[in-house]
Structure 1
Amino acid sequence: MATMQDSSATQVSSAVMTHPRRRERAEGLARRLGLDAVVVDPSPDEAPSALRTAVRAWQAIGPGASHHLVVQDDVSASAGFLSQVAGAVAGHPTEALAFYTHWNSRNGAAVRLAALAGAAWVRGVPEEFTPTQAVCLPAAQAEAFHRYARGSTEVHDDEILSELLRRAGRMSLLAVPNVVEHLDTDSISGHAWHGVRRSACLVDAAGVGDLLGSGRVLESVDCLPYMRRGAAHLRVEGPDGVLGTRGHARWRDALPATGLAPEQLRELVRGHRPADTAAAVARHFGAPYADELWIHCLLLGWRAACLAPRFAPPAGQDPLGGLGERIRDTAVSTIGVGGLPPDVRHLVPSDGSRLLTEYAWTGVRAGRTLAGPAPRSTRSAAAPAPAGHTTLRP
């Protein structure tokens, strides 16, 4: 068994799960990353089921291993991936650890929020699937997964893992700098309709392993701005502290629960949204998307600024160290493209992606001002917008 070992004798065994038609790719991935085993779908002629193969992959834990890592065959990672996993496991030995998040999911949005706030990890959203492209579990939890899942009629391993974690009352930790990317491949499980499924915050750089081992955790995301189907949404927990549903609330409907007033947002739209950039985004991606994206980024910037004091180190230091700027830039760069409908994401050219990133940053920066004392309005809601800015009605 090829294992990763630290001073505490932590040992991590590993496997890549695959289908016979992609076995060659899986074997190449295992060689490049130094993974222990390749686990193939035991019934490839039956209806597609990621869970069927996952059960076998989680059973492939090595003798004496304290943790087990399972990677799917349609991902890429750097040659230092196992060292990054080792650092993460050493820092969080009792946690389920996920090293990838989908850029158009609530978990991906949570990763961006944590990145802007200064956290290296964030607790997964309980009502959403757990991204299983690359997950490491403590040995006892890996064994619990295959016992729990082997009798299920579910076909999605990510749903079953979330179900198991919810029952335990502790969702996975999501790496804020994702270290695994999802590749554009044919979808054996029928997920092609999701379109391009990139990482929310892929950062491959020296020092990531250390950060994942020592960086702090954002434990609670009780107010989460996220994009869904091209529209801004808000996940806000109720008075009892439990959301407990898979429902989605548009930002207008959820705003009263945040303590923000619509007029505060209108003021920022009138005073901070750049008309030229907004017009360019509207021209290429539609005016409704330009409006919704900016409001999302504004709420994201606000919420991140509210959380940032929790992670603030001594004056002048970045809570994410030398990788902080890169992590934040990467997180913001995936908002615009990731929030588009699945059938158009792959059509966005590089200059379109840069435009969306520039636009997203203007919203994030404007939203940060909401974390301080609410500014007093100097104009009525009907007052004209300043020259050079676009009017948006929240």
Structure 2
Amino acid sequence: MPRARVSSAVMTHPVRRAQAEELCARLGLGGLALDPDPDGAPSALRTALVAWGRVADGATHHLMIQDDVAAPADLLDLVAHCADRFPDDALAFYTNWHARNGAAARLAALAGAGWVRAVPEEFTPTLAISLPVALVEEFRGFAQGVDERHDDEAMATFLSGPGRRSALLAVPTVTEHTGTSSINGHAAQGVRRAVCPTESADARPALVDGWVLEDVGWLPYMRYGEGFVRLPGQEATPAARRHFTWREALPRTGARLTEEDVWDVVRAARPAEEARAVREAFGASFADELWIHCLLLGLRAEETARRHAPDGAPRRQPSLAAHRLRTAALSTVGLAGLSPEHRPEAGRHHTDLLTAYATDAVSRGVSLKP
């Protein structure tokens, strides 16, 4: 029985009230938090503040969950056990597959971690997030005075304040975003899914006992068909949110790997048949960028495990749950890397192709010497 007592609320808009009520009833959540000005300009923060105001008497932590979510029946119990382990942290139980933080979670999954500290320069994923009640009150006071309509941006700014830390991201993702519509104006981002979709039974051991990756350092990520790298310490620079291409960033990662070295590996090791199939489906540039991104991801995951994992390196024979988590992380990397307009074109055979292509590149990256 967890010691933490978690209250909860589902933030919603009247047009989605029915689905919010169904979610609330199915998961045993505390109730709905309706947009107080449904005809006003869209504002997720306006509704989020209502949800954060629904802390129950005696609660130690509060879970705020959005209405367009699928989640397991034992979500509240899982959140409570995680709050026991990290009583003072913001805990995010969903991360988008195409964000920098999604890339951080994918890297952590490949390195064998159960949690990863969010990069502070990006929005905090708030689709399903819990806070200790003391932070809830502080956030509500802070958010009342910000000129911001996005609650995820407001949360990131709040958590970057003095004496606070960015959220911990659950690496196995037990919550899933459903649909593509967005009341708050995010529909242009297209299909948005969880980075490491995982069944609750597999997720629980990683979340309750898995190690925490506190600093991702340099981080390969993709957006709109192109590979980028987040530089170490980038959050503390004027270029905190700038997107550096992997070509620009590689000399600054400390990996002692040149652009020509990368292309040598591509020419020597990339599987020709799979590369041709990806080119035919999504274009030559995407085929190159995805394979190189995953090559760097494999390199970085191996280095991260050696430096940070408790045993100094990933287990060569991981548990079945850990293997499924790694597979889940690789199953989303290709789809997430596509431009939003191309994601709906990807059928099951494309998903399988991109997963195999990514897995091959990651395995090649693991064998590289940083």
Q: Structures share a fold, TM > 0.5?
A: yes
SS at match of 1:161: helix
Corresponding residue number in structure 1 for 2:352: 354
TM-superposed deviation, 1:262: 2.5
1:255 aligned to 2:250?
A: yes
Q: Distance in 1 between matches of 2:332 and 2:48?
A: 29
Query: Residue 339 of structure 1 is aligned with which of 334, 337, 340?
Result: 337
TM-superposed deviation, 1:123: 0.5
SS at match of 1:116: helix
Corresponding residue number in structure 2 for 1:17: 11
Structure 1 pair 317/262, CA: closer, same or farther in 2 (3 Å)?
A: closer
Q: Distance in 1 between matches of 2:60 and 2:125?
A: 22
When the two chains are superposed, the root-mean-square deviation of aligned CA atoms in Å is: 1.8
Q: Distance in 2 between matches of 1:210 and 1:218?
A: 16
Q: Distance in 2 between matches of 1:193 and 1:315?
A: 40
Q: Is the contact made by 2:294 and 2:358 (CA closer than 8 Å) also made in structure 1?
A: yes
Under a length normalisation based on structure 2, what TM-score does the superposition of the two structures give?
0.94
Poorly superposed stretches of 4+, deviation over 3 Å:
240-244, 312-322
Q: Distance in 1 between matches of 2:243 and 2:266?
A: 24
1:177 aligned to 2:175?
A: no
1:49 aligned to 2:49?
A: no
Under a length normalisation based on structure 1, what TM-score does the superposition of the two structures give?
0.89
Corresponding residue number in structure 2 for 1:291: 288
Give the residue type in structure 2 aligned to 1:246. Answer: R
Query: Residue 87 of structure 2 is aligned with which of 79, 93, 104?
Result: 93
Corresponding residue number in structure 2 for 1:188: 183
Which residues of structure 1 form unaligned runs of 5+? 373-394
Q: Distance in 1 between matches of 2:293 and 2:312?
A: 30
Query: Residue 131 of structure 2 is aligned with which of 128, 137, 154?
Result: 137
Q: Is the contact made by 1:179 and 1:203 (CA closer than 8 Å) also made in structure 2?
A: yes
Which residues of structure 2 form unaligned runs of 5+? none
Q: Distance in 2 between matches of 1:188 and 1:54?
A: 13
Query: Could you give the per-residue CA deviations for residues 65-120 of structure 1, whole angstroms, max 9, x where no partner exists?
Result: 11000000001001111122122111111110001111110000000000000100
SS at match of 2:120: coil
Identity %: 50
Give the residue type in structure 2 aligned to 1:303. Answer: R
Structure 1 pair 164/320, CA: closer, same or farther in 2 (3 Å)?
A: farther
Alignment of 1:182-331 (within 5 A): 182-237=177-232, 242-243=236-237, 245-258=240-253, 259-309=256-306, 310-311=308-309, 313=311, 321-331=319-329
Give the residue type in structure 2 aligned to 1:121. Answer: W
Structure 1 pair 319/154, CA: closer, same or farther in 2 (3 Å)?
A: farther
Query: Could you give the per-residue CA deviations for residues 320-349 of structure 1, whole angstroms, max 9, x where no partner exists?
Result: 744110000000110001110111212211
Q: Is the contact made by 1:111 and 1:175 (CA closer than 8 Å) also made in structure 2?
A: yes
Q: Is the contact made by 1:75 and 1:182 (CA closer than 8 Å) also made in structure 2?
A: yes
Q: Distance in 2 between matches of 1:318 and 1:268?
A: 23
TM-superposed deviation, 1:174: 0.4
Is the radius of gyration larger for structure 1 or structure 2?
A: 1
Q: Is the contact made by 1:121 and 1:218 (CA closer than 8 Å) also made in structure 2?
A: yes
Query: Could you give the per-residue CA deviations for residues 147-181 of structure 1, whole angstroms, max 9, x where no partner exists?
Result: 11123221100000000011144100000001110
Structure 1 pair 314/246, CA: closer, same or farther in 2 (3 Å)?
A: closer
